[in-house]
Amino acid sequence: MRWVTYLSPSGGAERVGVLDDGDVLGSADPRDLGTLLAAGGQEVERVYRQAVDEPVEIIMEPEARVCAPTSPTAPVSVRTDRSSGKIAPELIVGVDDTVPSTARTARIGVAALAGADDAACAYTPACLWLDADEAPVRLSLGPVVTTADAVPERPLGLSASSEDRELTRGLVLCGHEWLRDGPGQIRALLTVMTPPLEEGDELFVEVEELGSFEVRIGSRV
């Protein structure tokens, strides 16, 4: 199952939707995605089927304004090859949100969303933006959240490129202990880092099987 959180064109509120055959199918369920996942697999399956069979609205995927998958109230745990830390909830954004012009590098990987038993039940691409002092300025999540049953057990390839030039490439294992049983309702494992970036650089991020996105540093569009 593949999910998104998006701004509904009917009123502008955030809504959970199902991604199906290139369309976003809006769900009638009022819960955010984090709350829905915490309700357990059977309830997630029921809401998914309801959205597929009776969507409240249908939007072509490229036209959907994607938000962060869920809005955490507690800091989000992140881990790199060198350290671990926590990202303040107000820094968590979707991939259609602005990345500040102060961003100078990005660490890329995967975030896990916890389910009813606090174990990982879904995954999404993650990109931590750091300033010149390596302080976090944003953590971009999304655009798509994929449930664990649809994620391969093998390591997934991930990459970042700019202007058709590959900047970095690596692997991430969604079954990694940190993602599977780590702290918090959201935790991110960031396995690769870009070279230095500048304002105006457009970064294309792709995580195999989980999705891709493109964002321009400092852009307000």
Q: Are 76 and 136 in contact (CB under 8 A)?
A: no
Report the pLDDT value the prediction gives residue 7, as an integer from 0 to 100: 96
Q: Are 109 and 182 in contact (CB under 8 A)?
A: no
What sign does the dihedral 25-29-32-35 (CA atoms) show? negative
**What SS3 class is residue 187?**
strand
Confidence bin at 30 (pLDDT 50/70/90): very high
Tokens of 191: 């396995």
Confidence bin at 221 (pLDDT 50/70/90): low
CA–CA gap between residue 125 and residue 178 (Å, rounded):
15
Q: Which residues contact residue 30 at a Cβ distance below 8 angstroms, ignoring those fewer than 6 apart?
A: none
Report the pLDDT value the prediction gives residue 219, as an integer from 0 to 100: 85
pLDDT tens for 129-188 read: 999 999 999 999 999 999 999 999 999 999 999 998 999 999 999 999 999 988 899 999
- Check pLDDT > 90 for residue 116: no
Report the pLDDT value the prediction gives residue 111, as an integer from 0 to 100: 98
**What SS3 class is residue 33?**
helix
Average pLDDT over residues 64-81: 94
Instruction: Read off the DSSP letter of residue 190.
Output: E
What percent of the chain stands above pLDDT 90? 90
Confidence bin at 47 (pLDDT 50/70/90): very high
Confidence bin at 117 (pLDDT 50/70/90): confident
Task: Supply the mean pLDDT for the chain.
Answer: 95
Tokens of 208: 């195999």
Report the pLDDT value the prediction gives residue 69, as an integer from 0 to 100: 95
| Ordered DSSP codes for 18-49 | EEETTEEEE-S--S-HHHHHHT-HHHHHHHHH
The CA-CA-CA angle for residues 33, 138, 89, to 5°, reads 50
Q: Are 76 and 108 in contact (CB under 8 A)?
A: no
Q: Which residue has the tokens 């959180």?
A: 5
Average pLDDT over residues 66-70: 95
Report the pLDDT value the prediction gives residue 164, as an integer from 0 to 100: 87
The domains of the chain, with CATH numbers, are 2-63 (no CATH), 76-216 (3.90.850.10)
Instruction: Provide the pairing of β-strand 92-94 with 105-114.
Output: unpaired
**What SS3 class is residue 22?**
coil
